[in-house]
Amino acid sequence: MRAMRQNSTSTKRLTAALIVAILAVAGLSVVRELQAPPALVEDDAKLMTPEERAFVADFHRFLVKDHDIDYRVVTVDDAGDINRFAVEQFEKLFDKSSSATGRGLLLVVDPTQDRVRLEVSFALEGAFPDAFIAYVENRQMVPFFRTGRIADGILASTELIAIRAQRAADNAGFDDEPWATASGGGGAATTARIGDGPEQIPVPPSPAEAPPTNTPEQALQAYFAAMDARNASPDLAFYTPATREMLRGWTITQAQMDQVVDTYRGCTAQPIKSDPTSSLAVIRYPVAERSCAPFFFENIDGAWALDLTMMQRAIRFGRTNAWRFDQSIDHPYRFAFTDWRFDENGFPAGVQ
Amino acid sequence: MANLSDTETGSHTARIARMERDGLLSPSQAAQLRDSIQPRSADDSAGPTRGRWPARWIGVFLVTVLVIAVIAALFGSGGGPQTVQDVSSALNQPGGVGEMNATVSKLIAVAILLIVPLLLWALMHNSLVAKEESVFEAWAQTESNYQRRADLVPALVESVTRFIQHESEILTEVTRERGQSTGRLTEAIDELIRTQTDAADALRANPEVLIEDQQKLAQLFAGQASVGRSVGNLFAVVEAYPELRSGDQFLELQAQLEGTENRINVARQRFNDAVGDFNGTLRKLPWSLIASAGNFQRKAYFQSEEDARNAPKLNFN
pLDDT digits (tens, 9 = 90+) for B211-253: 888 888 888 888 898 999 999 999 888 888 888 877 788 888 8
Q: Do A138 and B251 touch (CB under 8 A)?
A: yes
Least CB-CB distance to A131: which of B255, B265, B317?
B255
Amino acid A320: pLDDT: 77
Amino acid B308: pLDDT: 45
Q: With bands split at pLDDT 50, 70 and 90, how would you rate the model's confidence at A112?
A: very high
**pTM of the predicted model, to two decimals?**
0.75
Amino acid A334: pLDDT: 92
Least CB-CB distance to A130: which of B255, B264, B265?
B255
Exposure string (b/e) for A318-327, b if CB count within 10 Å is 16 or more? eeebebbbee
Contacts of B267 in chain A (CB under 8 A): 184-185
Structural domains of chain A sorted by starting position, each given as residue range(s) with its CATH number in brackets: 41-191 (3.10.310.50), 216-351 (no CATH)
pLDDT tens by residue, A132-162:
999 999 999 999 999 999 999 999 999 999 9
Least confident of A227-241, A313-327, B195-209: B195-209
pLDDT tens by residue, B160-188:
888 888 777 665 555 555 555 578 888 89
- Give the separation between CA A194 and CA A191, rounded to whole angstroms: 9
Q: Do B267 and A184 touch (CB under 8 A)?
A: yes
- Give the separation between CA A257 and CA A340, rounded to whole angstroms: 29
The total number of residues written for chain B in this structure: 317
Nearest Cα of chain A lies from the Cα of B65 at a distance, in angstroms, of 42
Give ipTM to 2 decimals.
0.73
Q: Do B252 and A131 touch (CB under 8 A)?
A: yes
Least CB-CB distance to B262: which of A83, A138, A190?
A83
Amino acid A95: pLDDT: 87
Chain B residue with minimum CA distance to A116: B317
pLDDT tens by residue, A269-296:
999 999 888 899 999 999 999 999 999 9
Residue of A81, A82, A83, A128 to mutate when probing chain B, most B C-beta within 10 A: A83
Chain A residue with minimum CA distance to B271: A184
Residue A101 pLDDT exceeds 60: yes
- Give the separation between CA A346 and CA B304, rounded to whole angstroms: 61
Amino acid B316: pLDDT: 41
Nearest Cα of chain B lies from the Cα of A181 at a distance, in angstroms, of 15
Contacts of A186 in chain B (CB under 8 A): 259, 262-263
Q: With bands split at pLDDT 50, 70 and 90, how would you rate the model's confidence at A195?
A: very high
- What burial class does residue A298 get, using C-beta atoms within 10 Å of its C-beta: 0-12 exposed, 13-18 middle, 19+ buried? buried
Q: Do B256 and A185 touch (CB under 8 A)?
A: no
Q: How many Cα atoms occupy the beta-carbon half-sphere of B274 within 13 Å? A: 23
Interface of B with A (CB under 8 A): 141, 251-256, 258-260, 262-267, 316-317
Q: By the 8 A CB rule, do A349 and A341 touch?
A: yes
Q: Do B258 and A188 touch (CB under 8 A)?
A: yes
Residue of A81, A87, A88, A136 to mutate when probing chain B, most B C-beta within 10 A: A87
Q: Count CB pairs under 8 A between chains A and B.
A: 54
Give the Cβ contact number of residue B189 at 10 Å. Answer: 22
Amino acid A314: pLDDT: 95
Q: With bands split at pLDDT 50, 70 and 90, how would you rate the model's confidence at A32?
A: low
Nearest Cα of chain B lies from the Cα of A117 at a distance, in angstroms, of 11
Q: Do A184 and B255 touch (CB under 8 A)?
A: no
Per-residue pLDDT tens listing for chain B (317 residues):
344 455 556 677 877 887 877 777 777 777 777 777 776 655 554 444 444 555 555 666 666 666 666 666 666 554 444 555 555 555 555 655 556 677 788 778 877 788 888 888 888 888 889 999 999 999 888 988 998 898 898 888 888 888 888 777 665 555 555 555 578 888 899 999 999 888 887 887 777 778 888 888 888 888 898 999 999 999 888 888 888 877 788 888 889 999 999 999 999 999 999 999 999 988 888 888 888 877 888 888 877 645 444 444 444 44
Q: By the 8 A CB rule, do A70 and A103 touch?
A: yes
Task: Please give the DSSP secondary-structure letter assigned to residue B45.
Answer: G
Q: Which of A256, A314, A255, A264 is nearest to A289 (CA)?
A: A264
Contacts of A185 in chain B (CB under 8 A): 259, 262-267
The more confidently predicted of residues A35 and B10 is B10
Least CB-CB distance to B259: which of A84, A87, A186?
A186
Q: Do A134 and B317 touch (CB under 8 A)?
A: no
Q: Do A185 and B259 touch (CB under 8 A)?
A: yes
Cα dihedral A13, A19, A22, A24 sign: negative
Cα dihedral A177, A179, A181, A183 sign: negative
- Give the separation between CA A258 and CA A68, rounded to whole angstroms: 26
Nearest Cα of chain B lies from the Cα of A123 at a distance, in angstroms, of 15
Interface of A with B (CB under 8 A): 83-84, 87, 129-131, 133-135, 138, 183-191
Chain A residue with minimum CA distance to B258: A188
The more confidently predicted of residues A55 and B3 is A55
Least CB-CB distance to B255: which of A84, A134, A183?
A134
Q: Do B255 and A135 touch (CB under 8 A)?
A: yes
